[in-house]
């Protein structure tokens, strides 16, 4: 489905086309005001379940995480002392 024209009622309500409502399976939407246009995004009924697995995948190893934290701490220490990293 491409762009669809929707009428705004006197009360400020907009009806979403049935095709979108059925495809999104959402009882609510988020309207993001971008100034001269708006973005309408479905809000899942169960946001936690919808996000489950979204960031799945291998993360850093323990050693990589420790090294990154040491580097970050060293950088912050150098900034406090006025030294360049």
Q: Which domain holds residue 44?
A: 1-52
In a domain, 35, yes or no: yes
In a domain, 10, yes or no: yes
pTM for the full predicted model? 0.50
Give buried/exposed letters for 61-73 (b at 16+ CB in 10 A, else e): eeeeeeeeeeeee
In a domain, 62, yes or no: no
In a domain, 83, yes or no: no
Which tops the pLDDT comparison, 12 or 2? 12
* Average pLDDT, integer, range 7-30: 88
- Give the count of domains, the chain: 1
In a domain, 8, yes or no: yes
pLDDT for 37 equals: 92
pLDDT higher than threshold 90 for residue 21? no
pLDDT higher than threshold 70 for residue 84? no
In a domain, 5, yes or no: yes
In a domain, 61, yes or no: no
Question: Is-contact 30 40, C-beta < 8 A?
Answer: yes
Q: Using one digit for the tens of pLDDT, what is the confidence trace for 67-79?
A: 999 999 988 877 6
């Amino acid at each position: 489905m491409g762009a669809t024209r929707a009428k705004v009622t006197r009360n400020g309500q907009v009806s979403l086309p049935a095709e979108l409502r059925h495809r999104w399976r959402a009882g609510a939407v988020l309207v993001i005001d971008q100034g001269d246009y708006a973005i309408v995004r479905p809000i899942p009924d169960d946001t936690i379940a919808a996000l489950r697995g979204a960031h799945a995948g291998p993360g850093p190893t323990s050693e990589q995480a420790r090294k990154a934290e040491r580097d970050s701490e060293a950088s912050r220490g150098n900034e406090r002392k006025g030294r360049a990293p």
